[in-house]
Structure 1
Amino acid sequence: MSDAITRVADATGNWVDTVAPSWSRPYLRLARLDRPIGSWLLLLPCWWSAALSAGIAHHLDRLLLDLALFLIGAFAMRGAGCTWNDITDRDLDARVERTRSRPIPAGQVSVRQALAFLVAQALVGLAVLLQFNRFAVFTGIASLLIVAVYPFMKRITWWPQIVLGLAFSWGALMGFAVRFGRLDATAFVLYAGSIAWVIAYDTIYAHQDAEDDALIGVKSTARLFGERTHQALTVFYGLAVVLIGAALALAGAGVAAWIGLAVFAAHLAWQVSRLRIGDSALCLRLFKSNRDAGFMLFAGLLVDAVMRAV
């Protein structure tokens, strides 16, 4: 079977397809390193909380190290999570046009090989986690239960995006756990804001598969909201901005952080105005643009942390 045929349908022409050794490509695809957008979206709440907690502490000691460790950990654990998702969803993936070319349903990797690769990625994540304090270690481990159950949620609830939000927003807690060895109201409010953000952007993503999901009985907020998606996104993106703003207020954030939030909010509003739920390519582009939105907010939080530390 040629590699051109076995590429993942919505991830062609990337470095995995063109540069990586042939033997490694199925594993890199399992880890979604051919489509790293999810890793960035998992990482950004980590970076938000690291920068915001540094601002609260009024010093930047080991902030760069923490940002680097979060980067490695997010890519490793997102890869492990996606590998687990592909193992549990292999039969469903084989029935959906966009996902049937994934490594397991395409026959490139066996379930046993995928499990071994999952363990290897999880060990990298554990190695990163052990660089932090004990409270942060246990806080990070607590997220694994949510990660484990997420792939099954689309079978039993119309709101699997909430569970994804709980998992993908966990990093909003980790920065505070690492910095202070505890969690407070600021951390939980930031976490709630990130959850609302994830629900909205993953609804956009899920519209790519809405028709196939209906045929095979998979549930999602995209199917639940349908033609009311624009109104739902307005609610959830609006809630994200309000809750993140509340976290900034609790943290005593300065003007740079508020500018970052304002630009973040404007980007989310632009997404809603552009969205056409029947245009799968546009849905994917708008979903991916949330990385840019998240970086805008992070930039504001980082500048604010630096200003408060000097």
Structure 2
Amino acid sequence: MKNVNKLSVVLLAVPLLLTALPSLANMLSDIQGRGVLNCGVYSDVPPFSSPDVKTRKLVGMDVDLCGALAKQMGVKLNLMPVSVEARIAVLTTGRVDVLVANLAYTKTRAAQIQFSDPYYIAKEVLVVKSVDADKTRADFKGKRISATKGSTSEQSIRMADAKPVTFQDTASAYLALQQNKSVGFVTNNMTATKLVMQAKKDGVNLAIIKEPMALEPIAVGLKQGEPALLAKVNSSLYAMDAAGEIDQIWNRWIGPDTDYKMVRAEKVQPLASLKFVPLE
């Protein structure tokens, strides 16, 4: 009789224990249930995502990537504009399902969110006077190199054992090179390409040294602890790549026939397969 009473107590306790346990998160099921993907993109950072001058609707490379991702997932797209400063916070708090905002992998971000497999590799590059075009990164050890304060560009200068000279904005850091306040200027390869082309039009000969200062894998950001959603995003990216869809989007916004003249050299690939030193 005592054993029966003990069993009754256990059986009564099970429902109470179950209600006390937190429900397992499954954002993929939530997305599929509502039939909508909430995709965070920049509010105004061309050519990734910015308002069209005529329609005022968001357009850009990241916008198109969000659309292609939603299509692969079989749901509708809801674009959610975010600022550069708040993009990680809106993801960790669940206000967006995924973040497609030219998001580079760093150690700090990896401690806060999870990343999909990268769909391209951005590079921090060194812009120099044309006479220094054939030099290597090692040649600038201990030299003054300008960059935007607090940026990954500044980090890459320190990693190269050079001396960062920092400014509040890109324009000022770039001007430091022209005014010989620094022997080089570091920024991402897309911005660097455009600045070098513009300088040439103005009669100033600049160049980008061949060896990158740092590699930055660009991926989709997701909330931590969502393995099903991560797997779905990754499989969608590989399918988009195989179909040539990512190349089409790339070429439309930053490809060889645009002002940015960028060539997409890498395909979607596992982060673990990349040989790079993550920035902080």
What is the TM-score normalised by the length of structure 2?
0.26
| More helix, by proportion | 1
What TM-score, normalized by structure 1, do the two folds share? 0.25
Larger radius of gyration: 2
